[in-house]
Structure 1
Amino acid sequence: MRPAELFRVAFEALRVNRMRSLLTMLGVIIGVWAVVVLVAIGSGAKSMVQGEIEGLGSNIIFVVPGELGFGAAPTVSRMDLDDVALMRRIAGDTRVTSSLTSGETVRAGRQEAFATVVGSDENVPNVFKRPLAKGRYLSKIDVETRRRVVVLGSQTASKLFGDVDPLGRQVAIAGGRFRVVGVYAQVGQSFGQSRDAELQIPLTTAQRLLNASRVDFMAVRAPSAEAVDGLQKQLVAALSDRHPGDKFSAVTQTELLGTIGKVLGALTGVLAAIAAISLLVGGVGVSNIMLVSVRERTKEIGLRKALGARQRDILIQFLVEAVLLTSIGGLIGIGLGVGTALTIAELSPVPAVLAWWSLALAFFVSAGVGVFFGVVPARRAGRLDPVIALRTD
């Protein structure tokens, strides 16, 4: 039979049993849909995190206690203000900012909101790119005198004050009263957390408020990209000398991207593998239905062989039917997956990035499932004895 005739006969066989064909495709459709959606979400999350890290600037070094990486144990920070002073002597007074964080309920009158309270210093605008919507940043005087002033994130300001201008107004944080001196412009999420749902107070004030002397991490802006590697080693060596026996890490943007990329890549692979199980289940269904089809069409196979059809012709005919079944299911699954991914990208904060390779891979895998699971029924059809087949009721 010519190729066009093969596909016509295969399509007609599927059309005659429309409901059975659709139910058989269902496993393939769900599997391909899940693979496309999960890969799109994983790729989108990876792209979002990369964009966030790159937006911080190319010369930033993050200094944290302990070691980073897979299996690293959590470490309680022993860094303090003396360590911050040490880092500033090495990198430059305006190139180092430090932070202490805690989650607290913030109140303004009858309104309240849960926010991430970040104890920071006056160097935040020198290290990070974060514009203000109104007011001012924390100043050196604020930090040195432990003033109770606060710069609100846009979401926190909106929850507490609505359309009222918050500048100069009072908010209560962990039992203390703070005056609002600034409001940050909206920036969205970073590393899965809303940056707009946080607020910044002077680091020294945060230490007194939270009864803590520690610094959770420091960020250092190197003078140039070429100076990053050397500065990393200097910072870690200085901290290790001051805290013998303790370990510290100084990670760059590139290293963060690599680590997070590996984590998200592995997660996406695991999710895609789980989704691919649906394809295997669908493939078993295809094999089962094709065996049933061979049994139902035994007399037809015998008649074709009696008229001169070879074993290869019968095998190819049933194999084409199996591949057509899974390919149509794959195309439907891809269509549903693309629609779902676009909907997620529109309605959720996590973007969904559709990669052409994932769509092509999903289609070819679905077609490959048809070949793999269609071979056994096709071989059984091709090996039928024409005499026995014609005598079968």
Structure 2
Amino acid sequence: MSLSILSLIRLSCSSLYGNPLRSFLSGIGVFMGVAAVNATLQVGNISRAVIEQQLAERDAPQIRIFPDWNPITKDRAQLTLEDLKILKKQLKSLQFISGINWMGDQPVIFQNQQANPSAIATTIDFLNTSGRKLVAGRGFTSNDFETYQPVIIIDQFLADKLFKKINPLGQSIYVNFRPYTVIGIVDTKQSQEEEPTGYLYVPMAIYSTMTGRKNIRTMSLRPYNIEDLEPLGEQARKILEQRFTGYKFYVRNTIQDILEQQKTLDSVSKALLVVGAIALIVGGVGIANITIASVIERTPEIGLRRAVGATQLDILLQFILEAAILSLIGGTIAIITVHGATVVVAEQFKLPYQFDR
């Protein structure tokens, strides 16, 4: 007559408890294998979280394109709004595009407060292209460009520095001694500067009126998917070089350093995963060897149990249950240990970490 499941479990636990050294060695094998695999997965999780955090701190992934210097003609290609429209029409993976002219640092005055933020002249879609979120107010409209409205958008850092507790929206400030009305505030993103100075954005129409320049110095292209960054840049460069024969264009990926870091982390994670898989296999082979040795060692016990009525299935299930119990205990301890170690390391080095359930 076959034993019940509860009886088999009690018998398996009793057998494991009666052979502590064998059980310990088997459990260690499982522990090492599961710990290696789990640690590898945690490294991958933290790496992805770090990448996501870095991307969140910056503007949306973009391609920047600007004309290179032509040593023969001694000038650069003159990009215009028409080129923006052509690229937007021909590039299928393009989500948003905008033009940028860097105005450098500009003296800004509001009442008795002064600042020297970086000023950028841009086209209407710059908020969508950059991924900047409006904290308050509104973005540029077509009417602002068509009627040459002296309006600006500033970032949160500049708003805090100039206005303190005053609501910036609707306030007039002087940028390089010219009056502008603040219509919007955007969030401040990570900057390469050690000490941020803030940013302000003016409509390209106003910039063109002040300087008499109709060209666009730089184009920003935002794809639908981050994987399309490099192909999008190459496609845009080829289109522009066909339009401007004899001129070259420089293409820059705004998150190239993050992508390179991601590739390195992916390679390390894959290598660690292979090592973890090998450790898990070694642990499994160890359990198999110990189980085989246990079967040979316990031949008299098996014969006695058969003599008193145990079936082959009962004996087979007992050995399977013993292996399963050791795997469950060793694996659980390994997961708890790796999780605890990961939490300590993440807190120590201020790394983003969340346990995957």
TM-score range, shorter chain: 0.5 to 0.7
TM-score (norm: length of structure 1): 0.49
SS at match of 2:352: coil
2:307 is matched by which residue type in structure 1? A
C-alpha separation between the residues in 2 aligned to 1:8 and 1:124?
Answer: 77
Matches within 5 A, 1:1-393: 1-58=3-60, 60-63=62-65, 79-80=68-69, 86=78, 90=83, 95=100, 122-123=119-120, 132=157, 187=190, 220-221=219-220, 233-239=235-241, 264=265, 267-356=268-357
The structure with higher relative contact order (CA 8 Å, sep 6+) is 2
Q: Provide closer, same or farther for how the CA distance between residues 244 and 304 of structure 1 changes in structure 2, counting only shifts above 3 A.
A: farther
Give the total of aligned pairs: 250
The separation in 1 between residues aligned to 2:248 and 2:77, in whole angstroms, is: 18
Give the Å deviation of 1:50.
2.8
Residues 59 and 283 of structure 1: CA distance in aligned 2, closer, same or farther (over 3 Å): closer
SS of residue paired to 1:95: strand
Q: Deviation per CA, 1:39-68, whole angstroms, max 9, x where unpaired?
A: 12212221332343344344733449xxxx
Take 1:240 and 1:263, find their aligned partners in 2: how far apart are those partners?
Answer: 35
User: Equivalents in 1 of 2:76, 2:31: separation in Å?
Assistant: 56
**1:223 Cα deviation after fit:** 9.3
Cα distance per residue 1:78-108 (max 9 Å; x no partner): 945999874576459962569xxxxxxxxxx
Q: Can you give the 5+ residue segments of structure 1 that lack an aligned partner in the other structure?
A: 65-77, 99-120, 142-184, 189-194, 201-217, 357-393
C-alpha separation between the residues in 1 aligned to 2:6 and 2:157? 66
Offset, 1:36 = 1.8
For 1:84 and 1:262, the matched residues in 2 are separated by: 34
One-letter amino acid of the structure 2 residue matched with residue 322 of structure 1: A
Q: Which has the higher helix share?
A: 1
Q: 1:199 to 1:86 in 2, by over 3 A?
A: farther
Contact 2:8 2:314 in 1 (8 A): no
Aligned to 1:206: none
- One-letter code aligned to 1:327: L
Instruction: Compute the RMSD of aligned alpha carbons.
Output: 4.9
TM-superposed CA distance for 1:332, in Å, is: 0.6
2:140 aligned residue: none
The structural deviation recorded for 1:350 is 3.5
**Letter aligned with residue 9 of structure 1:** L
Partner SS state of residue 351, structure 1: coil
> 1:94 & 1:219 partners in 2: Cα distance?
6
Instruction: Judge conservation of contact 1:24–1:285 (CA < 8 Å) in 2.
Output: yes
Q: Is residue 87–residue 96 contact of structure 1 (8 Å, CA) maintained in 2?
A: no
2:76–2:247 CA contact under 8 A, matched in 1: no
Q: TM-score, normalised by structure 2?
A: 0.53
- Percent identity between the aligned chains? 26
- The amino acid that maps onto 2:33 is G
